[in-house]
């Protein structure tokens, strides 16, 4: 009896399927209709970053660097043009060092029409960061997201005042991260983008599609190298700019740790030979004979594995760890020398290099 019922059900379903295939007019009554999109439907999903710009743009200011004329020390003339980003309700503004480096007076113009003289809190030539402060109430603050991590392909907008035309927004993506090749000493990693950054954009904001600060615009490749190039621009990552700002506010300048060692990432072959527990280590290439590293006993070809108990992940992480250490403290550094692990104690000095 059960077999008879199953055969009947299967036969009925097969018959219905054959009818639907043979008689198309029966399908609309049984299957949902898919209506083609009209022009009006498409306009309702039009891509726009207006919301991101409205959130970020009010906090991006125009900066005018003024200097006394040589023949008249009572007369100021505008010598430089740039942009800046308000990042705190206390009026702190992040901009580029090169925007205000030679200024006798700094004028900040907000997008709501307010104009104020800015105080230079401090500057750091190495990272091309300067921190200004203005007084004012209800200052616009750019959205900040410390958890955001820049990734290649992320949409970004560059906001600034190119050629003093007025606030301008350009569009692009993040082309690369960790670009250190344009840094004079390879000690600083930039975000590369194809969003246009022109003269006057320096110090402005690079934001993501949510209007959150991604970096501080600093240069185009053409400005950095005098080559005729397009679509290659650079920004200082927000995390680095924030770190430098906090150091400047706390100490008036950036105090960096120094151990006097130069190294490079170990190659993939050496990595595999050392084993997974040693991945990320760097090999010491040179030691400053007058530096703390030499006094601690570091030698060329040592492989650094951990610093102050923290596992390292390449040359950049070593630089970040060491520069964040306060001069005068002693830390243990785990190294691998001729296949054996050793711990060296090194007293951190202050890095006074520019």
Q: Whole-prediction pTM value? A: 0.78
- In the chain, the N- to C-terminal Cα span, in Å, equals 93
Which of the residues 128, 175, 233, 351 is marked catalytic? 128
- Among 154, 112, 159, smallest CA distance to 137 is for 112
- If we measure between CA atoms, which residue out of 204, 195, 139 comes closest to residue 166? 204
**278 catalytically annotated:** no
Domain spans, the chain = 54-133, 155-239, 257-350
CA dihedral 30, 32, 35, 40 (to 10 degrees): 140
Distance CA 148, CA 216 (A): 15
Task: Encode the chain in three state secondary structure.
Answer: CHHHHHHHHHHHHHHHHHHHHHCHHHHHHCCCCCCCCCHHHHHHCCCCCHHHHHHHHHHEEEEEEEEEECCEEEEEEEEEEEEEEECCCCCEEEEEHHHHCCCCEEEEECCCCCEEECEEEEEECCCCEEEEECCCCCCCCCCCCCCCCCCCCCEEEEEECHHHCCCEEEEEEEEEEEECCCCCCCCCCEEEECCCCCCCCCCCEEEECCCCEEEEEEEEHHHHHCCCCCCCEEEEEHHHHHHHHHHHHHHCCCCCEECCEEEEECCHHHHHHHCHHHCCCEEEEEECCCCHHHHHCCCCCCEEEEECCEECCCHHHHHHHHHHCCCCCEEEEEEEECCEEEEEEEECEECCCC
In tens, the pLDDT along 272-324 reads 566 656 677 888 999 999 999 999 999 998 989 889 888 888 888 888 888 88
302 is catalytic: no
User: What order of strands is seen across the sheet that includes strand 92-96?
Assistant: 115-117, 105-109, 60-69, 72-86, 92-96, 129-133, 119-124
The single residue of 65, 98, 220, 302 carrying the catalytic annotation is 98
What distance in Å separates the CA atoms of residue 164 and residue 243, rounded to the nearest whole number?
Answer: 29
pLDDT < 50 stretches in the chain: 30-35, 42
pLDDT in the model for residue 30:
47
Domain 54-133 has CATH 3.40.1050.10: no
Q: Do domains 54-133 and 257-350 have the same CATH topology?
A: no
Active site residue 98: yes
Task: Kindly list the distances between the CA atom of residue 44 and the CA atoms of 37, 41, 49, 51, 235, in Å, as whole numbers in the listed order.
Answer: 11, 5, 14, 15, 34
- What local confidence, expressed as pLDDT, does residue 313 receive? 83
Can you give the pLDDT at residue 239?
92
| Residue 33, pLDDT score | 46
Phi, psi of 255 (to 5 degrees): -100, 120
With a CB cutoff of 8 Å and minimum separation 6, the contacts of 47 are none
Residue range 257-350, CATH number: 2.30.42.10
Our CA dihedral for 315, 317, 318, 322, rounded to 10 degrees, sits at 150
CATH number of the domain located at residue range(s) 155-239 in this protein: 2.40.10.10
Residues 149 and 158: their CA atoms lie apart, in Å, by 17
Task: Give CA–CA dist 249/99, Å, rounded.
Answer: 19
* Catalytically annotated residue among 202, 220, 233, 351: 202
Residues 229, 219 contacting (CB under 8 angstroms): no
pLDDT of residue 79: 75
Do residues 85 and 92 lie in contact, with contact meaning Cβ atoms separated by under 8 Å? no
* β-pairing verdict for 119-124 and 129-133: antiparallel
């Amino acid at each position: 009896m059960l077999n008879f019922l199953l055969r009947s059900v299967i036969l009925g379903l097969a018959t219905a399927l054959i009818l639907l295939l043979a008689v198309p007019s029966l399908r609309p009554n049984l299957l949902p209709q898919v209506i083609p999109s009209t022009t009006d439907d498409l306009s309702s999903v039009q891509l726009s970053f207006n919301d991101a710009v409205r959130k970020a743009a009010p906090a991006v200011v125009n900066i005018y660097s003024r200097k006394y004329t040589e023949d008249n020390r009572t007369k100021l003339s505008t010598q430089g043009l740039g942009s800046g980003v308000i990042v705190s309700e206390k009026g702190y503004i992040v901009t580029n060092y090169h925007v205000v480096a030679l200024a006798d007076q700094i004028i900040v113009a907000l997008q709501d029409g307010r104009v104020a003289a800015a105080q230079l809190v401090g500057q750091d030539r190495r990272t091309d960061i300067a921190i200004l402060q203005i007084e004012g109430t209800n200052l616009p603050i750019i959205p900040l997201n410390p958890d955001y991590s820049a990734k290649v392909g992320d949409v970004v907008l560059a906001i600034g005042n190119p050629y003093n035309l007025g606030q301008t927004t350009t569009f692009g993506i993040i082309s690369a991260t960790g670009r250190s090749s344009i840094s004079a000493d390879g000690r600083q990693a930039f975000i590369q983008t194809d969003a246009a950054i022109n003269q006057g954009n320096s110090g402005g904001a690079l934001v993501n599609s949510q209007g959150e600060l991604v970096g501080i615009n600093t240069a185009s490749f053409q400005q950095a190298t005098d080559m005729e190039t397009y679509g290659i621009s650079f920004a200082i990552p927000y995390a680095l700019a924030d770190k430098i700002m906090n150091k400047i506010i706390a100490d008036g300048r950036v105090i960096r740790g120094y151990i006097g060692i130069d190294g490079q990432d170990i190659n993939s072959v050496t990595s595999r030979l050392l084993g997974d527990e040693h991945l990320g280590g760097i090999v010491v290439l040179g030691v400053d004979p007058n530096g703390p590293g030499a006094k601690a006993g570091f030698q060329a070809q040592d492989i650094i594995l951990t610093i102050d108990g923290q596992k390292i992940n390449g040359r950049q992480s070593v630089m970040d760890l060491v520069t964040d250490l306060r001069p005068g403290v002693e830390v243990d550094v785990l190294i691998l020398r001729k296949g054996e692990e050793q711990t060296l104690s090194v007293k951190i000095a202050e890095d006074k290099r520019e």
